[in-house]
Amino acid sequence: MVSVVFDEDQSSSEYLETLDITGKVIQGERTSAKGDSMHLKVNQKGTLDSGLYLVRLSIDDRTFTSKLMINP
């Protein structure tokens, strides 16, 4: 399990996606944050195989993408 912490100073709507290296969406989850931070969990059920993934977080009209390595 990986935790994503993001500081946000307003209420907003977020969408968190996990993509494989080809860009195919593996998991997607809509969340909402209130206050100044949010904590999102990636691979909470341990369903991702070992390998390289992308994590994309969309907040209103902004998008952030980061690499995620799952080790055996």
Q: Compute the distance between CA of residue 30 and CA of residue 10 in angstroms, rounded to an integer.
A: 17
Fold of 2-70: Immunoglobulin-like (2.60.40)
- Does pLDDT of 71 surpass 90? no
Q: Across residues 10-37, what is the average pLDDT?
A: 78
Distances (CA, A) of 22 to 13, 39, 52, 53, 54: 26, 26, 10, 9, 9
Give the pTM: 0.70
Core vs surface per residue 34-45: b (16+ CB within 10 A) or e? eeeebebebbee
Q: Across residues 31-39, what is the average pLDDT?
A: 61
- Does pLDDT of 57 surpass 60? yes
For the chain, domain boundaries: 2-70
Straight-line distance from the first to the last Cα atom of the chain, in angstroms, rounded to the nearest whole number: 12
